[in-house]
Structure 1
Amino acid sequence: MNTMGIKLGEETALVCRLRSLLTESNRPVAFIVGSGVSAGAVDGVGAIVGSMRGMLGNPREIDLFDEQVTGPSDVERYQQAAGFAEEYRGQDWLNIVIRQAVLGACPNLTPERRTQLAWANEKELKAFERDSPSWRLTSATEALGRLLQLLPKERRGAVITTNFDPLLEIAVRRAGARAHWQQIDLDGKLSRGEDDDTVDIAHVHGYWRRGDTLHTVYQLQKPRPELHGSLRGSLSDHTLVVVGYSGWDDAFSRSLREYVQEKDAKGVDLIWCSYDELTEASFSSGLLRELGEAPRRSFYHQIDANRLFPDLVDAYVAAVECPHGWRPINRPMLDAMGVRTPGEEEVVAFFDGAQPDWPEAMDHRIPRLSPVTDLNEAVRHCFDGDSGGQIVAAVGPMGEGKSMVLRQATVDLVRSRDDVTVLWRDRGTSVDPDAVLAIPQRAGHHILLVSDDGALVIDGLRQLLTKCRTQGRADIYALLAAQECEWRNRRAWLELDDFLADTVTLHGLTEADGEAIVVAWQDFGALRELAKVPESERAHRLVDLSSAPYGRRQSSLVGAMLKLRYGPLLDEHVAELLRRIEEHPKVGNATLRETFLMIAVLHSAYNVKKRRIQPMSVRILAEALQAKPAAIEMQVEDTLRKEAALSEHGESLWVRHVSIADAALRISRAQCPGELISVIRKLVRAAVQLSPAAGALDDDLYSVAYLSSRLSNGEEAVAASEAAVAAAPARLSYQTSLMSALRKATRLPEAHRTAEQAVKGMADMSDPESKWGFLLEWGTVAGQDRHPASNALLDGVALTLSVHEHQIVSALGNMAVPLTKLHEQTSDPVYLNALRGVVGLMGTCRRTRRVDGYLTRHTTYITARGSTPPVGEDAWNAVQAAVDKLRPTAHSTLVPLLNSAGGSVRPPKGA
């Protein structure tokens, strides 16, 4: 609506704007409030005029009062009555009238007690104001007090009021904050409290129990230069919201008008809220006409403070109770989700491994396993203070049903309790301690942060709960689900030790759980191959298989389900999956089938025991497909999740179970020879292109760039290492990987050529620190190609580069093999003595179990020939003698390397 070119807003828009200002803007918000916020509790000006007349008593004075108090409006009659009172009775009597009016907010006072208090001294009135429960607050005052208590100090400007009553101070105290109030009855500066939890309230027309209250035209219009000047300092860069204030023609209004009309950058944004409907006549004269010409002002009309402030508090609490990246899980949300019952195909897809959503979590046809009850009980103990901690975690291997258990436990908590706000973490969101601590604290109420992939938020949770203890917050808790290996690798038990209340382990099934699952399969006709098993044995087989040790690749619950329900038909099931997804549109430069195979290669090659090995990351997949991450989410993740083919963990992508990944690779090799080689080349090239030219690689990049070392198929391993070399030929470690892949594929001549080419460009390699590993691998190639002399010489050069004990042990262990071979071929004692030296030197070093096995074999060899291992200088001299004997026989390609080593096999000093 527009009036005279001025846009007028409505209450709904105003609530949205104020909520945005209070939660998103950097400008503090100050309030000017008038009688409109206390009307209904404290007598209005019309009633006060009547009280004055009644308190006069003398008939002659009443007649004079009636002759002089004749204004057309309540405000005008009030000012006339105040002027009469000041002339005929004085300021003290007028102050008593105001006290009587203010005490009208205590409806249970008898008239006698009300009069007695009106004449009491300031000390008695202060005690009554502070201690009496009789004060009745309007909805507006109560809600404004709550809002001021909720707002952080940096967003909370001063509250300026023309009211005399203490209702706002009382509302602030009842909300749990402290009121820093001041009265300015003649002139004075606005001041601010120093403490963060104080709310600044300034009464610019005086305060009911101290000093004089201002009423008459003369009093109100008298210049107030100190107040005028302090407005600028107190409200600079603020948004000023005026509510329940009619804008009297007084010194305060003039100061406000002049400040708002200023056009400098530090001026005030004005939001004027009118109870009445605003029309052209409203802006034709007076304060509104002048404010209408101000540069940054907005007008809203038909605003009832008793609706506005409660609605604003609700909107503000809803906004701050859900930090960015978290979703509230409440009954209305669950009711809305529960309207849609999952179809039978969706439920069967869940049994096949599809990730659950809220409809599945609420579906009574899907069993609630015993860990759901365990989690709920553990959370209840936290709330009751019985556990001594704030975090409950469900921990188990991937594919153990943690996501469903977490959702079902959350549903039960929301349905059964009214004293908890549940916030669910969206993928990719971290725990921001300050954002969570901004959630208002409510007596007897709990805040529960729920997170799948819980190992990813360990650091943020520790920081949050540490701050909670520092600040005395005991209402914030966390419920997590986490992969067992991630939970262990991130040392969660240590990092969260002070806060961890309970850990519920998810691995294996109880007999009752197994029976419930099998019955559900049967109800949906989803037993498949398990239908061939006698009914009495079905649940037992599921329980037995689900409880297998973690190390077995089929040991998770999803793996057990797939094995029992599909058995030898799993390949057919996966082949049908590949056929379906091939019909989807391309993702970037690849089909969805090829994309899935990329993820499957990484999952199948994943080894939890190997350091730095990771599954597929979103960024590598996006680079390989030349697609944006958003396309990965919509076209890959969403589709494959529905196909029960994919799950996510942070930024990592997994095939739902390793048995599905293995089957997909088998099918690809059988159906489309060469498909996987093409997929692997594209994938490795992407990781290398994302990697730095020199220096360490991030774990996800490392895992793909050096994928060849974990591929059992020789041609695929060679393709992976060739792709890395082609993308970064100056990185020596990729040349080493190619040598290794060619060696394992028994393509030894090609491995030699790779080494010889790399040596020619050695000076230009970006990672000279990789030379040690390159030499050991080349030595192994030479040894397997029946060149033990070259093998031993290369290991000798590697020893001169060994700066860590484990490198010395590896180089010595590698040298022992060709020394044994040379002794077997020649019976030359120099090689046996060198082998003795190697055994002696290795025996004094720290070793792995694997190295111990090799050492035992070599020790047996020398012992069988009546020898014992030397130590120290004798040992090194024996090794040096063998290398010196071999140097003249070295192939020409080795001579530069041998010369660079200076002839000695000794590692650098200090190694």
Structure 2
Amino acid sequence: MNVEIREAKYLRLKLGREDNSRQPVSFLVGAPFSLDRGVGVPGIDGFVRIARARVEESGAALLREFDGQLAATAGADQYQTAMSFLYDLLDARAATDVVQKAVLCARKPSAPPFDERDLIPGEWEITRAQRGLARAMQLAPDRFPGPIFTTNFDPLISLALETCGFKVNTVGIPLDGSISALVKMRTSEVDVFHLHGYWRDSATLHRPQQLLSKRPQLQQSLQRHLDNVHLVVMAYSGWDDIFTTAIANCLSDPAFNGTVSWCFYEQDEARVIAQNQRLFEKFEAGIAQSKIAFFRGVDCHSFFDELAGDVFEDAAAGIAASPMPGWQIVTQATLEAEPPLSTAEVLRFFDGAVPALRHAVSPLVPRLSSVDALLPLLRGSVNGGCALQLVRAASGEGKSTALLQVATAAVSGGEWVALYCPGSDAGLNADIVSQLDPSRNWLIVLDDAENYIDELWLAIGKLHALGRKNVFFLLAARDTDWRLKGGEKKSWSTRVNRLDDVTLGSIGEGDIGLIVDAWAAQGEEGLRALGSTASRDARIRKFMDAVGAQDGQPGQGSFFGGLLDTRFGAKGLVDHLVPLLEFLRTRPIEGGTGTLFDALLYIACCHATGMIGLNVRVLAMLCGLPAFRVSGAIMTPLGIELGASEVRGHALTRHKRVADAILVAADRLDADLSAIWPRLIDATVKSSDDEKVGDTFSQIILAGSRLKRDLPQELSESLRDEIAIAAAEAAVVAMPTWTGVISALAHALRSAGHPQEAFDLLRTKLPTLKNTVDKAIVVRGYFYEWSTCAGNLPGRQGSVMDAWLAAISLSDLLPVELTFEQAKMSCAGLGSVFRRLAGDATGTYAKGRRAVIDLGWLAKPDQRATGILAGHQRELDASGISKSADIDQAISWLTDAAFAAQEELQDPLLRNLKEGRLAFTRLKALLLVQK
């Protein structure tokens, strides 16, 4: 086979390419990576010697047999023969002992006896290859995000990564296991997958029958994670294991979009070709499609130093000053080097773009009073011991801008050096924080601090234990999220000087004036809709009134809501967004699938309908990205354009009003909004196969029941109906074992004016309820929805079926507990249907109506239910229907009315749901507790 084997320098050039079309790089490394100049984890000969010593402990006869079998083999076969001997003639524990002794050979001679409770990098002989790879990943985390795949058992790669500030997720893959999901969520994390097992607490694979056994789950998951990735295979023998087979299968698939660079240590091209014919044959399809390239003379122990020298000189110079991956060091020189904002960038910031350092130092961005209040606190802490200052506010109150302006002002004064985390995808490494240069005053600047509470607690604890006094933590957090995530449960004051929190809320007239003046300095585009207001005082008053009008909207910053109203007026925001969305349609997601427009619609669909946002893992799946790349590939560019951000692992827009306007603008651009929700539901379900996607899982799955109500009312009713039904139908397909999705679809159909179709759906699906996993939770809701659908049908029979099914939803026929919410809803619904059935009469149905109203008052009615109950009560009082004497009489009247409805039923299936009268003992017990 004609194969070209290029020199190592070409691989260095390939890895250093700058174009945006390059793929993220992962590595597969083998045994030579852990052995450098005879130091480290021993190779084949060393393993065999350790195995022989273990066999010798078991007797001379076994040793003679062992030596005889080894004499007939060589190389990798000798290693596999030795390990097979241990398994077959000793036991698995003997093989494990050999692996652990081999790994412990990598301990430094001066290291103390190994303590299994901790892995301390300084006690291990970490090789040049391992340090070099970790350094490359630190220099260019976006280019080299991982994961690292290895057939080695040892922890040395993980230890090397830890010395570079990474958090490492070490995963040993069991024999029949799979890589269910990439674990990392931040650029400061790296996943290391041990394909043949890990040296501790994991089975290890050695024998051919283990390495060659079919592992379909692993095969499928490997293929999924290698797609759209550039895999570099280095220091790897290419033996015929599952990973080599997976690579070959991937390369044979025309739909596979990954690439492979395979490295050989041998320098001579002719020898490489002669010694690896079987390997080339295995990769024949990939070679034909140019999906795999081969390189010779690649010494893993010198390659990465050469790579850094050739490609990353500038990056290396910059990263030397920044001790934590994903963090930026900010000095006076850094700030002076920041380019000035363009007019377009200033306008985007005024419209809600996420602030960066450039905005904080720009004279075009006003500095509000909160900054002037915070600066003295910071300056007063110089040399005064470690301190923590928290800025709290709702989303959209300007805390991020204030945080950066305080930080840059402090750094500009020359007393502080700041470490700033510009994204949400970097972790806070407590060890590195505790080792910061004690001769400098360090300012840790962290927005969205609610996501780092445990890491902050650990870092502050280490500083306290060391007696350090030169680190100041300047934090910003969403007030509600800080509490929800346990920020107030930490005893901060026992470890650090916690200054009084600064809470941003109401904004004063002086600050509003500064903002209006900054807008006016940019002319008509700066003022936007406010330009039609002539005087400065009138503009300030208009802005103040708009901010005040936002009060009472939970979870939405009144400042930003007022800003939107002031800058764009009632309908101007949609007009403003249309050209921006057209632009985003032309912007592909780097390294993923689709465009930034697609990603924005997914986010807006969730945020506009009352959710916190879209879970980052779901967004990653929708856009063909690993979760940790969402921040850089999607959220950063969207943040620059219109202020999208992340909260608690969810992507969202700056304000629900923005999300609403995005959907309306997208509809104006003829986007197929009804196709978005089925994709969201499918990705949510698939993501949950790997890991639950948090609070929004059921909200997305069951969204069909509320989308008509929650979607922006500017969308036509017919479109909202179409979207709701599409979402509900997709959920029924995606979650066939859920009852709740059936009820949600029925609700969507009924709300869209199709009550008969909804009624028939619930009737048809009734026999399947016994096989659903959530029936105990939602079966009462199922019958209540069914009753409501029946009540929307024409004629008296519709009302009769409504009454019967609603009564069942309250009854003991359903063997599950009853809640106050269910009791309240069903009583209110029965009041209306009994009124229709009773007409002007004062008989059984009228008493049944009085009964459910009396019972409803005991079911903790909310404001809406109170209004309904009060209306019924007035009518009943006027008609002379007296109140029930007690709960027993009310339930007796309800039982009679339900039985009367059953007697009128013409539908045999409904009649046969219960013979005789319904019982309501659970309802009585619930209401007696309340009474």
The normalised TM-score by structure 1 is 0.58
CA contact (8 A) 1:839 1:869 kept: no
Q: 1:699 aligns with which of 695, 718, 738?
A: 695
Q: 2:391 aligns with which of 384, 394, 402?
A: 394
In structure 2, relative to structure 1, the CA distance for the partners of 1:696 and 1:685 (3 Å cut) is closer
CA contact (8 A) 2:423 2:631 kept: no
Q: What is the letter of the counterpart of residue 457 of structure 1?
A: Y
CA contact (8 A) 2:512 2:544 kept: yes
User: Are 1:754 and 2:768 counterparts?
Assistant: no
Q: 1:449 aligns with which of 444, 449, 467?
A: 444
CA contact (8 A) 2:353 2:640 kept: yes
Which whole-Å deviations, capped at 9, do the CAs of 1:154-173 have from their partners, x for residues lacking one? Answer: 67889xxxxxxxxxxxxxxx
Structure 1 counterpart of 2:513: 515
Question: Structure 1 residue 577: deviation in Å?
Answer: 0.9
Q: 1:855 aligns with which of 852, 857, 869?
A: 869
Aligned residues with identical type, % of pairs: 26
Which whole-Å deviations, capped at 9, do the CAs of 1:646-668 have from their partners, x for residues lacking one? Answer: 23335322223433332232233
Structure 2 counterpart of 1:357: 356
Q: What is the letter of the counterpart of residue 663 of structure 1?
A: A
Distance 1:805 1:26 in 2: 65
Distance 1:474 1:508 in 2: 34
In structure 2, relative to structure 1, the CA distance for the partners of 1:858 and 1:470 (3 Å cut) is farther
SS of equivalent to 1:863: helix
Which whole-Å deviations, capped at 9, do the CAs of 1:503-550 have from their partners, x for residues lacking one? Answer: 323234333322222222222222233222113322332344234444
Distance 1:422 1:335 in 2: 16
CA contact (8 A) 2:645 2:653 kept: yes
Distance 1:524 1:26 in 2: 63
Q: Which runs of 5+ in 2 are unaligned?
A: 1-33, 37-117, 125-300, 303-315, 710-719, 927-931
Structure 2 counterpart of 1:201: none
User: Are 1:715 and 2:722 counterparts?
Assistant: yes
Structure 1 counterpart of 2:152: none
Structure 1 counterpart of 2:421: 424
Structure 2 counterpart of 1:279: none
Structure 1 counterpart of 2:127: none
Question: Structure 1 residue 452: deviation in Å?
Answer: 0.9
CA contact (8 A) 1:378 1:502 kept: no
Q: 2:844 aligns with which of 830, 842, 845?
A: 830
Q: What is the letter of the counterpart of residue 829 of structure 1?
A: G
SS of equivalent to 1:449: strand
Structure 1 counterpart of 2:618: 620
Distance 2:509 2:821 in 1: 51
Q: What is the letter of the counterpart of residue 535 of structure 1?
A: S
CA contact (8 A) 2:804 2:901 kept: yes
In structure 2, relative to structure 1, the CA distance for the partners of 1:325 and 1:633 (3 Å cut) is closer
CA contact (8 A) 1:425 1:450 kept: no
Question: Structure 1 residue 759: deviation in Å?
Answer: 0.8
Structure 2 counterpart of 1:368: 367
Question: Structure 1 residue 496: deviation in Å?
Answer: 6.3
Question: Structure 1 residue 752: deviation in Å?
Answer: 0.9
CA contact (8 A) 2:327 2:419 kept: no
Distance 1:849 1:491 in 2: 32
Question: Structure 1 residue 459: deviation in Å?
Answer: 4.0
Structure 2 counterpart of 1:407: 404
Structure 1 counterpart of 2:634: 636
User: Are 1:882 and 2:897 counterparts?
Assistant: yes
CA contact (8 A) 1:691 1:697 kept: yes
Moved more, 481-490 or 522-531: 481-490
User: Are 1:892 and 2:902 counterparts?
Assistant: no
**1:214-293 equivalences in 2 (<5 Å):** none
CA contact (8 A) 2:615 2:693 kept: no
CA contact (8 A) 1:776 1:814 kept: no
**1:100-249 equivalences in 2 (<5 Å):** none
Distance 1:859 1:467 in 2: 65
**1:593-612 equivalences in 2 (<5 Å):** 593-606=597-610
Structure 2 counterpart of 1:97: none
Q: What is the letter of the counterpart of residue 790 of structure 2?
A: A
Which whole-Å deviations, capped at 9, do the CAs of 1:274-322 have from their partners, x for residues lacking one? Answer: xxxxxxxxxxxxxxxxxxxxxxx99xxxxxxxxxxxxxxxx9xx98994
Structure 2 counterpart of 1:684: 681
In structure 2, relative to structure 1, the CA distance for the partners of 1:873 and 1:543 (3 Å cut) is closer
SS of equivalent to 1:602: helix
CA contact (8 A) 2:453 2:486 kept: no
Structure 2 counterpart of 1:724: 731
SS of equivalent to 2:477: strand
Q: What is the letter of the counterpart of residue 724 of structure 2?
A: A
Structure 2 counterpart of 1:486: 481
Aligned length: 593
Question: Structure 1 residue 402: deviation in Å?
Answer: 2.0
Q: 2:654 aligns with which of 639, 653, 656?
A: 656
CA contact (8 A) 2:519 2:527 kept: yes
In structure 2, relative to structure 1, the CA distance for the partners of 1:361 and 1:413 (3 Å cut) is same
SS of equivalent to 2:914: helix
User: Are 1:797 and 2:804 counterparts?
Assistant: no
User: Are 1:734 and 2:738 counterparts?
Assistant: no
In structure 2, relative to structure 1, the CA distance for the partners of 1:827 and 1:637 (3 Å cut) is same
In structure 2, relative to structure 1, the CA distance for the partners of 1:590 and 1:155 (3 Å cut) is closer
Structure 2 counterpart of 1:768: 775
SS of equivalent to 1:907: helix
Q: What is the letter of the counterpart of residue 534 of structure 1?
A: A
Structure 2 counterpart of 1:529: 529
Q: What is the letter of the counterpart of residue 652 of structure 1?
A: H
Distance 2:463 2:924 in 1: 52
Q: What is the letter of the counterpart of residue 842 of structure 1?
A: G
Q: What is the letter of the counterpart of residue 342 of structure 1?
A: L
Question: Structure 1 residue 382: deviation in Å?
Answer: 5.3
User: Are 1:330 and 2:331 counterparts?
Assistant: yes
SS of equivalent to 1:648: strand
Structure 1 counterpart of 2:8: none
User: Are 1:581 and 2:584 counterparts?
Assistant: yes
In structure 2, relative to structure 1, the CA distance for the partners of 1:840 and 1:157 (3 Å cut) is closer
SS of equivalent to 1:702: helix
SS of equivalent to 2:391: strand
Distance 2:832 2:427 in 1: 54
Q: 2:453 aligns with which of 430, 455, 458?
A: 458
Q: Which runs of 5+ in 1 are unaligned?
A: 1-24, 28-151, 159-296, 299-314, 607-612
**1:464-483 equivalences in 2 (<5 Å):** 464-465=459-460, 476-483=471-478
CA contact (8 A) 1:605 1:711 kept: no
Distance 2:417 2:596 in 1: 42
Q: What is the letter of the counterpart of residue 598 of structure 2?
A: E
Which whole-Å deviations, capped at 9, do the CAs of 1:249-281 have from their partners, x for residues lacking one? Answer: xxxxxxxxxxxxxxxxxxxxxxxxxxxxxxxxx
Structure 1 counterpart of 2:58: none
Distance 2:904 2:689 in 1: 40
Distance 2:426 2:863 in 1: 42
CA contact (8 A) 1:422 1:447 kept: yes
Question: Structure 1 residue 362: deviation in Å?
Answer: 1.3
Distance 2:708 2:388 in 1: 40
Question: Structure 1 residue 826: deviation in Å?
Answer: 6.9
Question: Structure 1 residue 462: deviation in Å?
Answer: 4.3
Question: Structure 1 residue 731: deviation in Å?
Answer: 1.4
Structure 2 counterpart of 1:563: 565
Question: Structure 1 residue 409: deviation in Å?
Answer: 0.9
Distance 2:758 2:692 in 1: 25
Question: Structure 1 residue 836: deviation in Å?
Answer: 3.1
Question: Structure 1 residue 850: deviation in Å?
Answer: 3.2
In structure 2, relative to structure 1, the CA distance for the partners of 1:446 and 1:863 (3 Å cut) is farther
In structure 2, relative to structure 1, the CA distance for the partners of 1:373 and 1:804 (3 Å cut) is farther
Distance 2:372 2:874 in 1: 58
Q: Which has the larger radius of gyration?
A: 1
CA contact (8 A) 1:797 1:897 kept: no
In structure 2, relative to structure 1, the CA distance for the partners of 1:412 and 1:730 (3 Å cut) is same
Distance 1:514 1:574 in 2: 25
Which whole-Å deviations, capped at 9, do the CAs of 1:381-436 have from their partners, x for residues lacking one? Answer: 555769xx943222223223222211111111222252665453741345555554
Distance 2:442 2:908 in 1: 73
CA contact (8 A) 1:321 1:440 kept: no
